[in-house]
Amino acid sequence: MSTPQPPGRTPLGSGVEDPASRSAVLRASGTTKGGPPGPTAREGGR
């Protein structure tokens, strides 16, 4: 078992990350949605 750590994103020392990337990927994956939602494994009858 892993031990839970305090939440929060650790800043990168190298400062290479674009903070806009997170919102861009989330927005794109949310607004393009994958069609009609299907059931999960158990809901699907298995």
Partner 1 sequence: MTERTFLGMPYAPRGVGHLRGEEPFPVAARAALANTQLRRNLGKATTTIRAKRAAVVAELPDWEELRAAGQAIKQHTLAHLDSYLEQLESQVTAHGGTVHWARDAHEANRIVTGLVRDTGAAEVVKVKSIVTDEIGLNEALAAAGIAAHETDLAELIVQLGHDRPSHILVPAIHRNRAEIREIFLREMPGVDPGLTDTPAALTEAARLHLRRRFLSARVGISGANFAVAETGTLCVVESEGNGRMCLTLPDTLITVMGIEKVIPSWRDLEVFLQLLPRSSTGERMNPYTSMWTGVTPGDGPQRFHLVLLDNGRTAALADPAGRAALHCIRCSACLNVCPVYERTGGHAYGSVYPGPIGAVLSPQLTGVEDNASLPYASSLCGACYDVCPVRIDIPSILVHLRARHVEEAARARWVPSAEAVAMAVASWVMASPVRYAAAQRSAGAGGLMSRKGKIRRLPPPLSAWTAARDAPAPPARTFRQWWRLEHGDPDDRA
* Binding residues for partner 1 (CB under 8 A): 1-5, 7-10, 12-18, 21-22, 24-30, 32-46
Least Å distance between CB 19 and partner 1?
A: 9
- Token reading at 16: 């290479």
- Token reading at 33: 């949605």
Residue 21 corresponds to which amino acid?
A: S
Rounded Cα–Cα distance for residues 22 and 16 (Å): 13
Least Å distance between CB 23 and partner 1?
A: 8
Least Å distance between CB 26 and partner 1?
A: 5
